Amino acid sequence: MTHRSGPALLALHGVRVLGGPSVDAVAQRFGLPSAEVREHLLDAQAYGWVRRHDGFGETWSMTARGRQEEERLLAEELDAAGARDVVAAVHAAFLPVNRRHGQACTDWQLRATRWDRLAANDHTDPVWDDRVLVELEACDDELAALCATLTDVLVRFDGYAGLHAAALARVKRGRHDWLDAPDRASCQLVWIQFHEDLLATLGIPRGADS
């Protein structure tokens, strides 16, 4: 049975997985009204779970206390949905794909020369770039399969596969910035957010599953 997370949890969870987002970014990611997300974040702020920042427009970050509360709520949800074994199995299957995706992103960004092993990839070698894109497409296919398994038990995992596929399509059309740009739903950023979602859901510290 598919479980749909409540909007209060999604608002809090969105702050973590999106990394310092605006209200609108959280609302768009989970298909919620912005006004509802803001109300839930204001409540979370009153509990000391999140902080509001207004230096460059309204954005939100999670406190250490908020992270503990979010992981408690996610653990409760995971067990109530009977989804722990499924998510744990997806996480285990994700790890080798994660390593391949990371290497492919590095190969897209860097292309060693005789003089500089960290030389930037200038994208003048179509054979090199095509090989990297084939690997990224394979990782994209595997992400889609993993997300399909997850959304059968937790609806909130829906969306990652579509965002990654859309970004990769732009990269293939020559929009190289969509591979790793931090200011949009690029391949690398969406992948990081998906990984963070798995870690948060299972209560695993970042870096502990490397």
Q: What is the sign, positive or negative, of the torsion defined by CA atoms of 203, 71, 193, 183? A: negative
pLDDT on residue 28: 96
pLDDT on residue 108: 92
DSSP, residue by residue, 12-56: HHHHHHHTS--HHHHHHHHT--HHHHHHHHHHHHHTTSEEEE-BT
Q: Calculate the CA 75 to chain-centre distance.
A: 19
- pLDDT 10s digits, 38-86: 999 999 999 999 999 998 889 999 999 999 999 999 999 999 999 999 9
Q: For the chain, which residues score pLDDT lower than 50?
A: none
Q: What is the pTM of this model?
A: 0.94
pLDDT on residue 41: 97
